[in-house]
Amino acid sequence: MTLACTIGMIVVYIIIMLGIGFYTSRKTKSVSDFVLGGRTAGSWLTAFAYGTSYFSAVVFIGYAGQFGWNYGVSAAWIGVGNAVIGSLLAWIVLGKRTRIMTKHLGSKTMPEFFENRFQSKSLKLASAAIVFVFLIPYTASVYNGLSRLFAMAFNMTSDASYMLIIVAMAVLTAIYVILGGYAATAINDFVQGIVMLVGIAVVVYCVIHNQGGFSAALDGLKQIDTNGAKAGTLNTLFGPDPINLLGVVILTSLGTWGLPQMVHKFYAIKDQDAVKKGTVISTVFALIVAGGSYLLGGFDRLFCTTDAADTSGKTLIATLSNGKPEFDAMIPAVLQTALPDLLIGLVVVLVLSASMSTLSSLVLTSSSTLTIDMIKPAMKKSMTDKKEVTIMRVLIGGFLLISVLIAFNKTTSISTLMSYSWGALAGAFLGPFMWGLFSKKVTKAAVWTSFVVGIGGTVFHMCVFSFFSKSFPGLVKAAASCPFNLASPINVGAILMVLSIVLVPIVSMFTKPCDQKAVDAVFACYDEKDA
């Protein structure tokens, strides 16, 4: 009966999504319609699109499990940071200026913005390549988290079933994004956002209730003394490791400022009034969804153990070859223990909603970037709108296929995949994009510097600390022993983002400025009446 209810909820959800895709396909006539929804999205649609693109199975399954285990209830600070820095400040600082300048420049993608803002086709091509390459691991991490939850809900343990889930989600995403483009994703995001808000509230309540209430759950955490987490710290305000907790807050909060799939939402919003309303809606959404997810993860040690001799009834979590627990299995174990069977279906739809919205945003960003910024300029003959949209639709399938193949490898953790993706993208783009909106003094050399440092730092860290870590044992050990763990891709990603913000104005002071007349023409948009 429970399985039938879960399947029924998923079927209804899928029918709604596909229905929206077919409905919006009739209104998608041009490239602007497909990529930006005609720049007519209101505050609620844009705010929910921003929030649902922000939070997916990566947060709910991967990050909540890992950081809840490491930091206890203090992991909830990550959700607060996501709401204040990743949503509130991002909308206040970037929202209005992004909408005005991108509309003035006619930019539909971030690479187009770099080309038009800095009069450089080479910057456009480089940024387009970065977007396409580094959105792939993020997409794979979403599939990874989603498949683990389905495996828990339907007791699917084989590799074949794992792959089947990933392929099914890819096909479903492809259908409704290919049909309706941005309009389909925005409307679906609104529906998915409602599911996420209700689902998170119900799940957090059930998990805390299972432990006898909030006070009893905190008392339980207070007694835990495992894997370096000192007794009495997992239930405290700042937890056992506030320094590295700060790194997580920076990566997951500041990163949104430089992610193309996130700032893209500001391109499509209707007007300034919608920006003001969207700021409030997006912040509240993030506080509930992210705060609830990380608070939920903060109690995972009460449900999970890595000690085979533990007879308290906790779920035994496997220890991986690197000696760390299988973090991605923790939240599914918590849910399986704490939730009534009838609510499992709600949670599956919750995570499905969060993940599908993120996936749709990622594939739309990647396909539009590759088409508009790389393929179209290379065509000798002019490309019609119809042909351009067709190419985007084909590339959506190709992007999803590559992501699926990467996701088939279950050995890489969700948080690692996401950290490298966010670190590279935001480490390269954050400074140039933000300063490019505000300062006339930003130079091309400063933009290139940020690109090189962001991508170079990420690739170097991947090679030394992931792919070839056995070849550099001394370096890995020394980096891991630092108070701010430099062996962690999370902390390195956070450092690269901050460096991007700092380096751009500094390098701009000592390098050749852009053509002043062209820059003045760009910034004239802020003097227009509708600004």
Can you give the pLDDT at residue 409?
Answer: 63
Residues in a beta bridge with 390: none
Question: 317-338 as b/e, with b when 16 or more CB fall inside 10 Å?
Answer: beeeeeeebbbbbbbbbbbbeb
Residue 319: strand pairing partners: 325
Question: Which pLDDT score is estimated for 250?
Answer: 92
How far apart CA 487 and CA 477 sit, in angstroms, is 8
DSSP assignments along 12-67, one per residue: HHHHHHHHHHHHHHTT--SHHHHHHGGG-B-HHHHHHHHHHHH-SHIIIIIIHHHH
What is the domain-level CATH number for residue 79? 1.20.1730.10
Yes or no: say if 51 and 218 are a contact pair by the CB < 8 Å rule.
Answer: no
- Per the structure block, which two tokens stand in for 434? 């933000």
Three-state secondary structure call for residue 209: helix
Token pair 């590339």 is found at 395
Sign of CA dihedral 512, 518, 520, 526: negative
Which residues in 115-148 are b (16+ Cβ under 10 Å) and which e?
A: bbbbebeebbbbbbbbbbebbbbbbbbbbbbbbb
Residue 130, both tokens: 């970065």
Q: Would you write out the chain's pLDDT as a tens digit for each of its 531 residues?
A: 566 777 777 788 778 777 777 776 666 666 666 655 556 667 888 888 888 778 876 787 778 888 999 899 999 999 999 999 999 999 999 999 999 999 999 888 888 999 999 999 999 989 988 988 888 777 777 777 666 667 666 666 666 766 777 777 777 777 766 766 666 667 777 777 888 888 888 889 989 998 899 999 999 888 886 555 566 788 888 888 898 899 999 989 999 999 988 888 888 787 888 889 999 999 999 999 999 999 999 999 888 888 777 777 788 887 776 667 888 778 888 888 888 777 777 777 777 766 666 767 777 777 777 777 777 777 756 667 777 777 777 777 777 777 777 666 655 566 677 788 889 999 999 999 999 999 999 999 999 999 999 999 999 988 887 777 777 778 878 887 787 788 888 899 999 999 999 999 999 999 999 999 999 999 999 886 555
Considering its fold, how many domains does the chain have in total? 1
Q: Nearest 10 degrees: CA dihedral of 258, 362, 159, 68? A: 40
* Joined tokens for residue 403: 């992501």
219: containing domain? 2-362+371-527
Which phi and psi (to 5°) does residue 304 adopt?
-125, 155
Question: How far is Cα 274 from Cα 50, in angstroms, rounded to an integer?
Answer: 13
Helix (H, G, I), strand (E, B), or coil: what is residue 245?
A: helix
Angle between helices 272-297 and 43-54 (to 10 degrees): 30
| Count of C-beta atoms within a 10 Å radius of residue 312 | 8
Residue 222 and residue 507: Cα distance in Å, rounded?
48
- pLDDT recorded at residue 34: 62
Predicted pLDDT at 123: 93
407 near 166, Cβ under 8 Å?
A: yes
Residues 6+ apart with CB under 8 A from 168: none
Contact 447, 123 (CB under 8 A): yes
Q: How many CB atoms lie within 10 A of CB 243?
A: 12
* Per-residue 3-state assignment (H helix, E strand, C coil) for 275-337: HHHHHHHHHHHHHHHHHHHHHHHCCHHHCEECCCCCCCCCEECCECCCCCECHHHHHHHHHHH
pLDDT at residue 25 in the model: 67
Write down the pLDDT at residue 338: 83
